[in-house]
Copies of this chain bind each other. A is one copy, B any other.
Amino acid sequence: MGRVTLQTIADRVGVSRMTVSNAFSRPDQLSIELRGRILSAADELGYAGPDPSARALARGTTGAVGVLLTDSLRDAFTDEVATTFLGAIAEELAPTGLALTLLSASDQHNMIPARDVPMDGALVYSCNTESTAVDWLIRRRLPIVFVDQVPASGIPSINIDDRSGARAAAQHLVDLGHRKVGIISANIDGGGGIVADPNAATNHVTRQRMLGWLDALHAAGIEPTVVQEDPSNVSAEHDAAQVLLDLPDRPTGILCFSDVIAYGVVQAALARGLAVPGDLSVVGFDDSPLAKRMRPALTTVRQDVAAKGHAAAAALTAAIGRSRNGSTKRVRNVLLPTELIVRDSTARAA
């Protein structure tokens, strides 16, 4: 027995295929009585409703939007900040009925999700600027929204004020009298260890935070030692911390790209008998739940990740709406604020 299609049902009921289609998609186009007959015939035949792929082709819409995530999706679920973000997106998307498709920016054996997966629009979340996946999305002329990405003209974007936040964090250490400062950044140039050129970061967020830190430090005449996480390493935070703590002229304050890193630094410091914040001040970034939870509670830069997610999803649905009815309203570039939260992991330099 072949597949059941609109035609199968049409033949069975003795109407045209179009009428059956209407029975499912535009109930007001036929009599209630006939619709009832069609629906029950469909039911008997075990029809599951119009084929989504066929419908997508004909209608030009799929009912799903994508989120493009750097490298492994795995990480997206491991990181508390990312899950909060995704959760907020899901929440904002729920009333629209759109499903959420997770796309990996890295392609697996000639399958490039950004190019090959059907969708109505996409969110680009903190991808490296060099990623080709983004180019595919653009070529497809999909409505897209950049999040934590360097804003491009004509593309709506959601960012947080990373630079100001980082600047405030660094200034905080400066104000506490720290002169020897270390920085642990996310990955900048592919390896681990000490970074030669702090401005080489391909990731927008990494770069902005770096600029912010340097703003305040340079203004105070401080030249920090910058190390980066080795992304291929499980104990990346720990190793990066060791590099700094092993320096002949050990820093008294460390600025971290994230709370997770900061946590690792604090653990590493405590493990070698250093007091935090007595011997070492540590500042994180994000204000993830971890920051409040850990001991000492972490001084960090707060960003409202949930708000970012909501804004991103809203911007995307707006962009999709815009592309549907050809409206040319100007796109918005949102910049959400950051705020320094001082807790117990920072103190005056010894």
Contact = CB atoms under 8 A, between A and B. Distances in A.
Interface of A: 46-49, 51-57, 60, 62-64, 66, 72-74, 76-78, 83-84, 86-88, 90-91, 93-97, 99-104, 107-109, 111, 113, 115-119, 136, 139-141
B97 A107 contact: yes
Residue among A74, A77, A104 with max Cβ neighbours from chain B (10 Å): A77
A156 to B, nearest CB: 20
Given A97-B107, A99-B103, A90 B118 contact: no
A96 to B, nearest CB: 7
Contact of A63 (B87, B116, B140, B141): B116
Contacts of A66: 99
A48 B115 contact: yes
B116 A118 contact: no
Contacts of A56: 53, 56-57, 118
A94 B113 contact: no
Contacts of A93: 73
A84 to B, nearest CB: 7
12 contacts: A46-B139, A48-B139, A51-B57, A53-B56, A55-B116, A63-B116, A73-B100, A77-B84, A78-B87, A94-B104, A99-B117, A102-B102
A87 B111 contact: no
Given A99-B102, A102-B99, A115-B48, A72 B57 contact: no
B115 A64 contact: no
A111 B74 contact: no
A97 B102 CA distance: 11
Contacts of A103: 99
Given A48-B139, A53-B56, A83-B83, 11 more contacts: A52-B115, A52-B118, A55-B116, A64-B101, A64-B117, A73-B90, A73-B91, A78-B87, A95-B108, A99-B101, A100-B102
A116 B103 CA distance: 19
A217 to B, nearest CB: 34
A234 B56 CA distance: 38
B90 A52 contact: no
